[in-house]
């Protein structure tokens, strides 16, 4: 069984973001980087399946980006992926989801992956398009926003998160692709011995030019912080007046009281 | 010269940080108040490989290098100085000498259980009348057939309360001074080993500091570590490496306090603005950070020299001295930045201040470090 998990390295979300010189994305200097949180759940689920299936399964982790993304790749290898593909691209951040999905599809086509895992979305761009687009390009069945996963006899049973706290269960025949929601599992810590073992695992490097044939379909034209809001509203008066004012605001401006 | 961590070290640092943030930081107050590190946490640190990081894989270690070990102790100590010294004393002072001076049989017998954290190790050198003057130890050994018989007492033994495996120093004849000292591997569950007490302390309260009485303790002859009479060399060599661990612990404590002080200085408003707008606070932060960075560079340098199998005696003495003095300075200033809140237990910098002090004392007082450094300068 051939498994693939696609991961992205994103800035630490605690960072202070500044627009870059073109004003179309954030400035990448002085940022700390980590694995996209959604992808940690994808890696964990893929590793669990790899362990369930045993040595007849092979789990590849793939990431697109500059050399620094190897840090996220190595973390995945230490969590239990067998091998890695690094599609080296210094300009991955400016590619649109269509191009990213097409690059992965160009790699994955003909490789015979039975199951592909991705995060539901990235923490930085947040388009949630790469997974589903990749499934479409490969002609795979696809389920998104997984909060539960089981596999047996060529069938994936996926529990999906719907709106309003409702869950749905769908079954997919492989080959298939699933996108993983936060809370799907408990991602394991890479242990020190496994970090050491990961150093010996293969990381195949492919230049992005060898896989990229598509033009972007969308372009980001501006990146900016939200406009500064004015100061908050300070209510004044005795308790009765405060309560009346507060209830009025909750009724008029929120869905809390209707 | 390149002052960047390698990609592999960054991966490790990130993994350790993640574990510490979720598993150790929430327990730090409890560990201090209850004077104990939960067994469950010790087990988890063992599973993570924290208790045998730089020992080879064939003996159950993680097979990483000294720099990785320094990073582990530093990151753990950012959240909890007690847990930091557990890792440091166990790895540097018990696993370390058994690996460096042990026979193949000794390594195979003792290291796997130590490196997995199943058994916690300690280093039994200090005695009531032999601290910095380690050649003055009075615990004796004599040979009887296939055994050594040990009599004496040991104090201030970090991790002693776990009754695990110890590296013990004893003399055949006190008048021989350091030439009479030999090292032994001891199972602290042996008959005749009695715990007199676990000390109550100013800081690192979660860490055991134990006093032992040794009354006719019989150790199999095969547990002699190195040659007879080599004990003093083993002790000094071990402490040499151990200082990198203590420097890392001190560095972590300082960084933990700095992070809190920096964050607090941005939140706390006085005179209508955050106190970090005041130059008095800015200068404190600058002084604290400069000392942290200096200590970090020297600690990492000492670790890299050891990894490169180069002489690191000078650097390990300097990093221990610099980092411990940075730790007491930074934690004190962190309290000052917090004002009255810093004196209150809820803000945790007071614990870091208490935890920091010992790093100037143990594994060679800073006065001893200055002796080491100046001797090398003048030799």
Q: Please spell the DSSP secondary structure of A29-70, one letter per residue.
A: TT--EEE-HHHHHHHHHHHHHHHHH-TT-EEEEEEEESGGGH
Task: Give the position of tokens 């039975």.
Answer: A114
Is A192 within 8 Å of B49 when comparing Cβ atoms? Answer: yes
One digit per residue, pLDDT tens: chain A, 258 residues?
999 999 999 999 988 899 999 999 999 998 999 999 999 999 999 999 999 999 999 999 999 999 999 999 999 999 999 999 999 999 999 999 999 999 999 999 999 999 999 999 999 999 999 999 999 999 999 999 999 999 999 999 999 999 888 999 999 999 999 999 999 999 999 999 999 999 999 999 999 999 999 999 999 999 988 888 777 888 988 999 999 999 999 988 887 776
Q: Are A194 and A79 in contact (CB under 8 A)?
A: yes
CB contact under 8 A, A193 and B10: no
- Percent helix / strand / coil, chain A, rounded to 5: 30, 25, 40
Which residues, 6+ apart, have CB-to-CB distance to B6 below 8 Å? Answer: none
Partners of A167 in the β-ladder? A161
| Domain spans of chain A, in order of start | 2-210
pLDDT of B82-113, one tens digit each?
Answer: 999 999 999 999 999 999 999 999 999 999 99
CB of B11 within 8 Å of any CB in chain A?
yes
Query: How many of the other CB atoms lie within 10 Å of CB of A257?
Result: 11
Whether chain A has a CB inside 8 Å of the CB on B21: the answer is: no
A193 with B63: Cβ contact below 8 A? yes
Taking an 8 Å Cβ-Cβ cutoff, which residues of chain A contact chain B?
Answer: 34, 67-68, 70-71, 74-75, 78, 189-196, 198-199
The ipTM is: 0.90
Q: Which chain A positions have a beta carbon within 8 Å of B8's beta carbon?
A: 74, 195, 199
The answer to whether the Cβ–Cβ distance between B14 and A75 falls below 8 Å is yes
At B352 the three-state DSSP class reads helix
Which of A67, A75, A193 lies nearest to residue B11, judging by beta carbons?
A75
Residues of B with CB below 8 A from A75's CB? 11, 14-15
| Distance, CA of B323 to CA of B301 (rounded, Å) | 13
Q: Which of B29, B24, B32, B28 is nearest to B50 (CA)?
A: B24
3-state DSSP call for residue B15? helix
pLDDT of residue B176 exceeding 80: yes
Helices first, then strands: H and E counts in chain B? 12, 10
Residue A102 bridge partners (DSSP): none
Chain B nearest C-alpha distance from A114 (Å): 29
As a whole number of angstroms, the distance between CA B278 and CA B283 comes to: 9
Q: In the structure encoding, which two tokens stand for residue B75, read together?
A: 């990151």
Over range B42-55, report the average pLDDT: 97
Task: Report the distance separating Cα A160 and Cα B328, nearest Å.
Answer: 52
Place of tokens 């615990």: B139
Question: Closest-CA residue in chain B for A67?
Answer: B7
Q: How many Cβ pairs closer than 8 A exist between chain A and B?
A: 55
> CB contact, 8 Å: B57 with chain A?
yes
Q: Are the C-beta atoms of A189 and A67 separated by less than 8 Å?
A: no
> In chain B, which residues have their Cβ closer than 8 Å to the Cβ of A191?
15, 47-49, 62
- Annotated catalytic sites of B, by residue? 363
Chain-centroid distance of CA A106 in Å reads 19
By Cβ distance, the residue of B14, B18, B63 closest to A196 is B63
Q: Which residues in chain B are closer than 8 Å to A193, comparing Cβ atoms? A: 49, 57, 61-63
Tell me the nearest-neighbour CA distance from B13 into chain A, angstroms: 10
List, in sequence order, the alpha helices (H) in B92-132: 96-101, 104-115
Q: Does B248 have pLDDT greater than 80?
A: yes
Residue of B nearest to A69 (CA): B7
pLDDT tens-digit profile of B8-17?
Answer: 999 999 999 9
Give yes or no for a cis peptide into B221 (omega within 30° of 0): no
Q: Give which of A195, A201, A203 to mutate to test B binding, by max B Cβ within 10 Å.
A: A195
Query: In this complex, which of B15, B18, B61 lies closest to A195 when CB atoms are compared?
Result: B15
Chain B residues inside the 8 Å CB shell of A65: none
Give B 28-47 residues with CB within 8 A of chain A: 47
Q: What span, in angstroms and rounded, lies between the C-alpha atoms of A64 and A102?
A: 12
B171 touches chain A (CB under 8 A): no
Over 90: is that where the pLDDT of B134 sits? no
CB contact under 8 Å between A75 and B7, yes or no, is no
Q: Is the dihedral of CA B356, B358, B361, B364 positive or negative?
A: negative
What is the C-alpha end-to-end distance of chain A, expressed in Å?
53
Can you give the pLDDT at residue B95? 97
Contact of B91 with chain A, judged by CB distance below 8 Å, is answered with no
B201-218 CB burial, b ≥16 within 10 A, e <16: bebbbbbbbbbbebeebe
- Among B7, B48, B63, the residue with its CB nearest the CB of A189 is B48
Contact B47 A191 (CB under 8 A): yes
pTM of the model: 0.92
Please provide residue A227's backbone torsions phi and psi, each rounded to the nearest 5 degrees.
-60, 145
Contact residues, chain B, for A36 at CB < 8 Å: none
Q: Which residues of B touch A67 (CB under 8 A)?
A: 7
Architecture of the domain delimited by A2-210: 3-Layer(aba) Sandwich (3.40)
pLDDT digits (tens, 9 = 90+) for B159-169: 999 999 999 99
């Amino acid at each position: 069984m051939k498994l693939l998990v696609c991961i992205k390295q994103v800035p630490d979300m605690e960072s202070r973001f500044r627009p870059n010189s073109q004003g179309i994305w954030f400035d990448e200097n002085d940022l700390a980087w980590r694995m996209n949180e959604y992808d940690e759940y994808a890696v964990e689920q893929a590793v669990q399946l790899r362990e369930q299936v045993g040595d007849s399964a092979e789990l590849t982790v793939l990431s697109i980006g500059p050399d620094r993304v190897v840090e996220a790749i190595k973390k995945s290898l230490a969590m239990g992926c067998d091998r890695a593909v690094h599609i080296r691209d210094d300009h991955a951040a400016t590619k649109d989801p269509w191009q990213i999905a097409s690059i992965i599809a160009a790699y994955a086509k003909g490789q015979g992956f039975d199951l592909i895992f991705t995060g539901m979305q990235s923490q930085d761009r947040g388009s949630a398009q790469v997974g589903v687009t990749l499934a479409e390009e490969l002609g795979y069945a696809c389920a998104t926003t997984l909060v539960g996963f089981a596999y047996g006899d060529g069938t994936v049973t996926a529990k999906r998160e719907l709106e309003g706290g409702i869950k749905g269960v769908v079954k997919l025949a492989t080959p298939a692709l699933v996108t993983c929601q936060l809370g799907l599992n408990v991602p394991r810590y890479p242990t020190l011995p496994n970090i050491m073992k990961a150093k010996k695992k293969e990381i195949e490097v492919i230049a992005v030019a060898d896989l990229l044939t598509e033009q972007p379909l969308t372009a980001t034209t501006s990146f900016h912080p939200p406009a500064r809001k004015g100061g908050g509203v300070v209510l004044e008066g005795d308790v009765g007046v405060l309560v009346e004012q507060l209830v009025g605001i909750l009724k008029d401006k929120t869905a809390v009281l209707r | 010269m390149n002052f960047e961590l390698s990609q592999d070290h960054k991966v490790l640092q990130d993994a350790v940080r993640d574990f510490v943030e979720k598993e150790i930081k929430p327990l730090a107050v409890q560990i201090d108040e209850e004077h104990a590190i939960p067994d469950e946490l010790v087990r988890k640190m063992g599973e993570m490989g924290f208790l045998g990081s730089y020992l080879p894989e064939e003996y159950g270690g993680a097979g990483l290098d000294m720099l990785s070990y320094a990073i582990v102790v530093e990151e753990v100590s950012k959240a909890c100085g007690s847990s930091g010294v557990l890792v440091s004393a166990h790895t540097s002072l018990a696993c370390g000498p058994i690996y460096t001076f042990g026979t193949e049989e000794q390594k195979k017998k003792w290291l796997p259980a130590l490196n997995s954290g199943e058994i916690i190790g300690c280093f039994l050198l200090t005695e009531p009348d032999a601290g910095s003057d380690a050649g003055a130890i009075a615990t004796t050994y004599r040979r009887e057939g296939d055994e050594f018989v040990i009599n004496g007492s040991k104090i201030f033994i970090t991790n002693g309360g776990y009754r695990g495996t110890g590296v013990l120093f004893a003399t055949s004849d006190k008048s021989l001074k350091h030439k009479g000292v030999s090292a032994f591997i001891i199972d602290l569950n042996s008959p005749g080993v009695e715990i007199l007490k676990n000390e109550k302390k100013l800081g690192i309260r979660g860490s055991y500091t134990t006093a032992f009485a040794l009354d006719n303790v019989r150790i199999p002859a095969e547990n002699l570590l190195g040659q007879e009479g080599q004990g003093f060399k083993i002790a000094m060599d071990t402490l040499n490496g151990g200082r990198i661990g203590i420097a890392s612990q001190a560095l972590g404590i300082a960084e933990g306090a700095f992070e809190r002080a920096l964050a607090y200085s941005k939140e706390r408003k006085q005179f209508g603005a955050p106190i970090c707008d005041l130059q008095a606070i800015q200068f404190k932060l600058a002084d604290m950070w400069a000392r942290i960075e200096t200590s970090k560079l020297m600690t990492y340098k000492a670790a890299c020299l050891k990894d490169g199998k180069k002489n690191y005696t000078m650097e390990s003495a300097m990093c221990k001295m610099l980092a411990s003095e940075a730790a007491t300075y930074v934690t004190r200033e962190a309290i000052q930045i917090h004002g009255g809140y810093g004196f209150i237990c809820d803000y945790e910098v007071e614990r870091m201040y208490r935890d920091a002090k010992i790093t100037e004392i143990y594994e060679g007082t800073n006065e001893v470090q200055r002796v080491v450094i100046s001797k090398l300068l003048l030799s």
